[in-house]
Amino acid sequence: MTRVLVVNAGSSSIKTTLLDHDDTVLAHDSLPVEHGGFDADALAAALDRAPAPDAVGHRVVHGGSEFTEPVRLDDRVRDRLRDLADLAPLHQAKSLAGIDAVGRALPDVPAVACFDTAFHATLPPAAATYALPAAWRDRYALRRYGFHGLSHAYASRTAAELTGRSRTVVAHLGAGASLCAVRDGRSVDTTMGFTPLEGLVMATRSGSVDPGLLLWLIEHEGLAPADVADALEHDSGLTGLAGTGDLRDLLARDDDASRLAVDVYLHRLRAGIAAMAASLDGLDVLVFTGGVGEHSPQIRSRATDGLEFLGVALDLDRNAVETVTGAVDVGTSGAPVRTIVVESREDLEVAAGVRAVLTG
């Protein structure tokens, strides 16, 4: 298996990366997602410009309880993935559209789906189970699935190779954001749950909200559940607090709304890091990855401010880095906890999954 084309259809773009057998990048393209979709003709043109792949790997957000490992795509798998679309509305439909578009452009190339939920299949029952009636949990498969698993898997493994340490908390911070507690390469806790709405404050998503508040809005204000769901996905988080989900803009502004938005974001983030460390009975390595995690020294510094009791200490000069290739240690020398910034490479994780499925 030589060349693998990795397709990552996200909420704001669809990215294609062609990797050679040694994971050298042979071609890369990024097309915008607008009005809920992307230009299939532009995608086909981008694929025509690149060398022909031997296989295709698709990042798919939700695999449910059924898909806990990468799987070769066929009609049955596509149908099952469509059934899961309601659980990840920002991403699943776009992943399916990408699968269909690439399949039309490359009909004879085998394709594999790699799942963000799969890494969290190892969550212990205490971390995966909601305290809901057993009849509900059994009938509807209600549990905490977790997301961003491809990123968490790659970042935690990179950190382990660099440090030789086991207990790791990964902070994937981008437009979507989540934390993951990893011990010996296995996910043992995470902040996202049944859907990607749970957990941290994000660019447009609310993160965790008291369910009683939502029931109150539906019952007392007469809001339709679909409108509530849309607002939680698209109009909440940093956007709901300050009008934009771009942390760079918020950090550059000097007004009450932007300050409150950043403070709320950091409050939830710091608390989450400490909670993940508790799930690990301690902390050896803290990892930042994702667009914000990699490129914002200020967020990293403020997120770790007050976490000295865990052993976290940043070196201000090292932490000034805004562009990371591979991995960079930004912690103070001798600190009990190593703090690492890891370049997000979900494409490498997907390619590895493709090769495992197709070549064993």
Which pair of tokens denotes residue 151? 């990123």
Report, in this order, helix, strand and coil percent for the chain, each rounded to 5.
45, 20, 35
pLDDT at position 40 = 79
Query: How far, in Å, CA of 136 to CA of 86, rounded?
Result: 17
Of 75, 83, 116, 263, which is the active-site residue? 116
Where are the chain's structural domains? 4-115, 149-346
**114 close to 57: Cβ distance less than 8 angstroms:** yes
End-to-end CA distance of the chain: 10
* pLDDT at residue 11, rounded to an integer: 64
- pLDDT attached to residue 12: 67
246 tagged catalytic: no
4-115 shares its CATH topology with 149-346:
yes
Fold of 149-346: Nucleotidyltransferase; domain 5 (3.30.420)
Encoding tokens for residue 311? 């052993």
Contact between residue 175 and residue 11 where contact means Cβ atoms under 8 Å apart? yes
CATH class of 4-115: alpha beta
pLDDT at 78: 92
The DSSP annotation for 290-310 comes to HHHHHH-HHHHHHHHTT-GGG
Cα distance between residue 168 and residue 132, in whole Å: 29
Q: State the pLDDT at residue 35.
A: 62
| Rounded average pLDDT per 10-residue block, the chain, 360 residues | 87 86 93 74 86 95 92 94 78 84 93 96 98 95 95 98 97 96 98 95 97 96 95 96 97 97 98 98 98 97 97 97 95 97 96 93
The pTM assigned to this predicted structure is: 0.94
